[in-house]
Structure 1
């Protein structure tokens, strides 16, 4: 991906770089295993001191969002690996499966019969196991609830999913006590550090988000000559919204992307044909006149990642160890 810094912004350059990488991880622009430019390369690319880049990389590493390979560079971390989802678990499962298959063969079962037996038994055991509790910790409660509902649909009977916000977590001690009993916490990559500080020792996973189907459809339906204004609520998210519009509305050429606090925002809204606003900036709709269109640039949790990563983690029951500190010792 391309990295850019806004030198007109009051946000320190290091904070901008860190936020850009965190947002890119959250919204899929940077994938697990993808290599970041070296400290020197990033410094030259952005025109900042190598010390600034090195400090950002150290902060990201401390937040377990990246990892280093001596002599190879810095890479995006696989969040699930931090919770012990490794090849060791799969190898152990293969051993148990081999034992089951050997026993089934000796007893005269064929593959179809054995598969049906496993499927029925799996369903029964799933009903017997305690339903897990998952908390989605977001920025805005309405959006967080929507995200939690999406995750709950994917998880099915495995877990109950509740939603809260980082602000509520900071200000409500009773809520923190409730959350401390959850089996798993989910949040954005750019909020992982703050959540881990508030809830030390809790199993925490940052998950990826993708543009919702309605967002992709709305962008694709814009007319080519539509004067489009895109408003980001977080400065670090501006470049990612730009990338999203270019991807899903490549035919639209009159696009302006600004931050919510841009001093010229009110004038830009007056002149636009279509307003595309980030989650949390829906109050801007009140400034529109008749004939202007608007829609939210909404993200949803990546259901594929939830199915691939979160479901196995909850089914493995590894989180019981976290209450005794075992999980942290393995991280």
Structure 2
């Protein structure tokens, strides 16, 4: 069992009000989304992981089934369960089919014009291409975090490209008219594909922001830390993050923002580490208490290897490319 799953075992809190199945699914989903469990990784067998975590094989099997239904993992007969590559694999396949059709038509036209394949290839290699501007939608759950993701991605885009930030809730009343490509945390990729059928969707990897990592590392060793998540499934991810970036801290308790015993937990804590969306916990803190928001940012490597190639694939075929061409 590698270090990733060792951290997973430590992060599962069986005394929590959140069921172990919800914790396990959340930990695996966000482990995949954060890149801790990268695409292509073979997950432990149901029985092996159940034994390692002290859970029922039925519980682990149900979690694996839910992850398969969500498109995060895939079962391969005789070999096991693997993390899917996600991203734009379906869109890339469709784009390649489009390219093949265009190449076939180009070869036909070249033959009619009396061009050999070598001459045609030379003309293709020297052809000029003026890329169009692309309109990107950053889709997330919380407005502030989603807007921050979009701001972090903007420097990677070309001049003239536009990136908008919307939450799934905002789309109900404010749906942009034209979007060329959607980027979203990998945990929302399947939902985004349903919301924007026919539009490329890129599931991006998220990592803790540098400011979050630095703040966690600065927690005093003797501090009593309360980890509070807005979503139950995100709780083990945050616990694992605290244990990873503040390994010197030994007293860590987790809770969901609507737990009945949350006020007592907060009153005993020296440090409150809260997820985005649970910012109201900062109200009423004592002067001797510290609050840290556990915030993520898009992984720059994922932007360069997954998002930018997908954006470039959109250039030149946007509906109003002539209008926006430089």
Counterpart in the other structure of 1:298: 295
Pairing of 1:132-143 with structure 2 (within 5 A): 132-143=134-145
Contact 1:269 1:287 in 2 (8 A): no
Answer yes or no: is 1:66 the counterpart of 2:73. yes
Q: 1:47 to 1:70 in 2, by over 3 A?
A: same
Judging by fraction of residues, say which structure has more helix. 1
Q: CA deviation at 1:18?
A: 3.4
Counterpart in the other structure of 1:182: 179
The 10-residue stretch of structure 1 (210-219 or 1-10) with the greater mean CA deviation from structure 2:
1-10
Answer yes or no: is 1:211 the counterpart of 2:218. no
Q: 1:217 to 1:18 in 2, by over 3 A?
A: closer
User: Normalising by the residue count of structure 2, what TM-score does the alignment of the two structures yield?
Assistant: 0.75
Q: CA deviation at 1:199?
A: 2.7
Q: 1:302 to 1:158 in 2, by over 3 A?
A: farther
Distance 2:249 2:46 in 1: 36
Q: CA deviation at 1:9?
A: 6.8
User: RMSD of the TM alignment (CA)?
Assistant: 3.3
Q: CA deviation at 1:77?
A: 1.2
Counterpart in the other structure of 2:86: 79
Q: CA deviation at 1:245?
A: 1.1
Q: 1:18 to 1:257 in 2, by over 3 A?
A: closer
Pairing of 1:22-101 with structure 2 (within 5 A): 22-44=29-51, 45=53, 47-48=55-56, 50=58, 53-80=60-87, 82-85=89-92
Question: Structure 1, unaligned stretches of length 5 or more?
Answer: 93-98, 104-117, 322-331
Contact 2:88 2:200 in 1 (8 A): no
Counterpart in the other structure of 1:115: none
Counterpart in the other structure of 2:114: none
Answer yes or no: is 1:270 the counterpart of 2:277. no
Q: CA deviation at 1:189?
A: 2.6
Counterpart in the other structure of 2:285: 288
Counterpart in the other structure of 1:162: 164
Q: CA deviation at 1:129?
A: 1.7
Answer yes or no: is 1:246 the counterpart of 2:204. no
Q: 1:9 to 1:202 in 2, by over 3 A?
A: farther
> Which of 261, 276, 291 does residue 279 from structure 1 map onto?
276
Distance 1:65 1:225 in 2: 38
Contact 2:217 2:246 in 1 (8 A): yes
Q: CA deviation at 1:295?
A: 2.1
User: Normalising by the residue count of structure 1, what TM-score does the alignment of the two structures yield?
Assistant: 0.74
Task: Determine helix, strand or coil for the equivalent of 2:162.
Answer: strand
Q: 1:53 to 1:201 in 2, by over 3 A?
A: farther
Q: 1:295 to 1:37 in 2, by over 3 A?
A: same
Q: CA deviation at 1:80?
A: 3.1
Distance 1:227 1:8 in 2: 17
Q: CA deviation at 1:212?
A: 0.6
Pairing of 1:106-117 with structure 2 (within 5 A): none
Q: 1:229 to 1:11 in 2, by over 3 A?
A: closer
Question: Structure 2, unaligned stretches of length 5 or more?
Answer: 100-117, 319-326
Q: Which has the higher contact order (CA 8 A, sep 6+)?
A: 2
The 10-residue stretch of structure 1 (157-166 or 232-241) with the greater mean CA deviation from structure 2:
157-166
Task: Determine helix, strand or coil for the equivalent of 2:74.
Answer: strand
> Which of 163, 185, 198 does residue 195 from structure 2 map onto?
198
Distance 2:287 2:83 in 1: 45
The 10-residue stretch of structure 1 (301-310 or 190-199) with the greater mean CA deviation from structure 2:
190-199
